[in-house]
Amino acid sequence: MPAVVKGGAWNIRTSANTAADLEVLKHHVNADYMIPIALDASSVAPDTDGVRRLKAGTLLTKNAAGQYMRYQGAGSGSAANEVQTVTVNGAPTGGTFTLGINGVNTDPIAYNASAADVEAALVATGQVRDADVTVGKASNVYTITFSGELAGQNVPTLTQTSALTGGTTPSVAVGTTTQGTEGAQTILGVLATTHEFPDNLTHADAQSQMWNHGQVFRADRIVDWATYGSAARTALPTCRFD
C-alpha cells in the first residue's frame, strides 16, 4: 500500500503543502534541486494527534536496506541481521507446532519439518517475503535469519504453539541469538515534503525527495534541531542553517 503524500507527487507549483514545506527553507533558492528517495514507513510512530507522519525538515539517514528513515542518533558498530532459533525439544515422534510473526500464525508445521518447510510456512503468513527470510536446520534446531527488506531491523521474537506428541515432554523454544541493528548512521539530507501514513502501513517504499546540498535552512524548522543540529551542520557542509 503506497503512502499518502499531501498534494500527490511533490511539485513546487502544485503541492497542497507547498507553503508549509517551503517554510523549512530560509530562502527559496535552489528549491527544485532535490534528490528522489524511497522512505521506510515501518519505523514512523504516531504524532501527538495520532497521525503517523514524517514532517518536512526531518533529518534523514538510511536503513540497512538502503531506504531513508528519520535520523535518531549516530549509533555505533556494524549492521547486523536478526537471527532467531526455534528448538524442538523432547525428541517428539509426531504432532505439529506453529510459529507466529506480527500476530499471524503459520499453518501447523510437522514435528520433523525440513528447513524449507519452515521457511515456506513463514512466507505463507504474508508477513515476510521469501527474499527476507532464510531458514537452516541442524539436528533439532532451526536457525532463522532475516535479511532483504528486514536487514538490520530488530524483528520481534517469533511466538510459538506446540501440539507435539511422543518423546519426553516435547516442546518448542524460540530465542534470539543476534539482534538486528542498523549500525552506525549519519545524516544524509533533509526531507523536503510532509508525508502521512495509514495506521496499518507496516512497511513501504514511499517515494519522496530530500535536500542535501546548497540550501539555506531555517534551523527552527528542522525536526530535532536542538538534539542533532550540530551533527547536521557537520554532515551537510554545503548547507547553511540560520
Domains of the chain, residue spans: 4-75+183-241, 83-178
- CA distances for 96 relative to 119, 160, 161, 175, angstroms: 15, 11, 9, 19
Residue 9's pLDDT band, with cuts at 50, 70 and 90, is very low
Q: What is the pTM of this model?
A: 0.55
Q: Is the pLDDT of residue 203 over 60?
A: no
* Lowest-confidence segment of 56-65, 87-96, 166-175 by average pLDDT: 56-65
CA-closest candidate to residue 193, choices 217, 216, 214, 209: 209
Q: Is the pLDDT of residue 5 over 80?
A: no
All 3 cell numbers of residue 72? 535518531
In the CATH scheme, what architecture does the domain 4-75+183-241 have?
Beta Barrel (2.40)
pLDDT digit string, tens, across residues 12-40: 444 455 666 777 877 655 555 788 998 88
pLDDT digit string, tens, across residues 100-151: 998 899 999 999 999 999 999 999 999 898 989 999 999 999 999 998 878 8
**Contacts for 99-102: CB closer than 8 Å, 24+ residues apart:** 99/158, 99/159, 99/160, 99/174, 100/158, 100/159, 100/160, 100/161, 101/125, 101/127, 101/128, 101/156, 101/158, 101/159, 102/127, 102/156, 102/202
Distance CA 60, CA 236 (A): 11
All 3 cell numbers of residue 145? 535469519
